């Protein structure tokens, strides 16, 4: 009786996981043409504000990649994923470096690519777990295959968190610099890109050191 129960439980758990994964994969396919109305991170932040009875004002406007300054595109790639156009979803070189740093107790950098971060933003929120990483690992190749680099970059720049309640390049540029994303300049772009690793803590006016590093990376990249 107990074995039958455990067998049924495991079976339904596997079916549930497969169904959720299939839904996520189909959602990625639909995102080739449909702009996402919200993401897991957006929902997570709303719930956190509701639980803590905190004020929350969300700014999220999706715009085409052609309306986002090339300088901002360049800065974000330089800051977050310099080999974005060379890898197929995972940057194994950066993963190896991060693993070596972990072994030496000197972890100073992340290894997540823009594609990985997009999948996490869309479906999993900011939580960390082996189950989430496993699901992310299987969905990243799907995203690369069905979306392509241009659409991945467009989605990421539009949904990523840039501050409390600030999502996407257009909202970030208007909130911090009072201008549209198409008008943002090179140095402003570097300061905005410097926010992304810790968007709830960092502000562009305090990012001179980090933005200088990003500007140097931009100069070193072929663009």
Q: What is the pLDDT of residues 97-110, one digit of tens each?
A: 755 555 555 444 45
Per-residue pLDDT tens over the stretch 117-135: 999 999 999 887 777 778 8
**What is the model's pLDDT at position 131?**
74
Total count of domains within the chain: 1
Tell me the mean pLDDT in the region 137-144.
94
* Whether the predicted pLDDT of 12 surpasses 80: no
Q: What's the Cα-to-Cα distance from 137 to each of 29, 121, 213, rounded to whole Å?
A: 17, 14, 29
Task: Residue 107: give its domain's CATH number.
Answer: 1.10.3810.10
Query: Which domain covers residue 139, as residue numbers?
Result: 2-220
How far apart (Å, rounded) are the C-alpha atoms in residues 153 and 168?
Answer: 11
d(CA 128, CA 171): 27
pTM: 0.88
Q: What is the dihedral of CA 105, 108, 114, 118, to 10 degrees?
A: 70
The band of 178, judged by pLDDT with boundaries at 50, 70 and 90, is very high
Listed residue (116, 113, 42, 44) closest to 76, CA to CA: 113
């Amino acid at each position: 009786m107990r074995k039958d129960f455990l067998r049924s439980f495991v079976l339904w758990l596997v079916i549930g996981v497969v169904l959720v994964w299939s839904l996520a994969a189909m959602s990625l396919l639909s995102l080739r043409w449909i702009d996402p109305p919200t993401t897991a991170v957006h929902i997570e932040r709303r719930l956190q504000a509701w639980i803590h009875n905190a004020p929350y004002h969300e700014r999220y406007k999706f715009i085409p990649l052609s309306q986002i300054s090339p300088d901002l595109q360049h800065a974000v790639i330089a800051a977050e994923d310099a080999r974005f156009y060379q890898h197929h979803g995972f940057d194994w070189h950066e993963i190896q470096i991060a693993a070596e740093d972990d072994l030496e107790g000197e972890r100073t950098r992340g290894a997540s690519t823009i594609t990985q971060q997009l999948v996490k933003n869309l479906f999993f929120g900011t939580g960390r777990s082996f189950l989430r990483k496993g699901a992310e690992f299987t969905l990243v190749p799907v995203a690369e295959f069905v979306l392509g680099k241009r659409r991945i970059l467009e989605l990421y720049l539009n949904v990523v968190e840039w501050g409390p309640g600030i999502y996407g390049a257009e909202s970030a540029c208007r909130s911090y610099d009072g201008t549209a994303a198409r008008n943002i300049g090179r140095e402003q772009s570097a300061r905005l890109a410097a926010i992304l690793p810790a968007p709830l803590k960092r502000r562009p006016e305090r990012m001179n050191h980090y933005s200088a590093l990003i500007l140097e990376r931009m100069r070193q990249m072929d663009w």
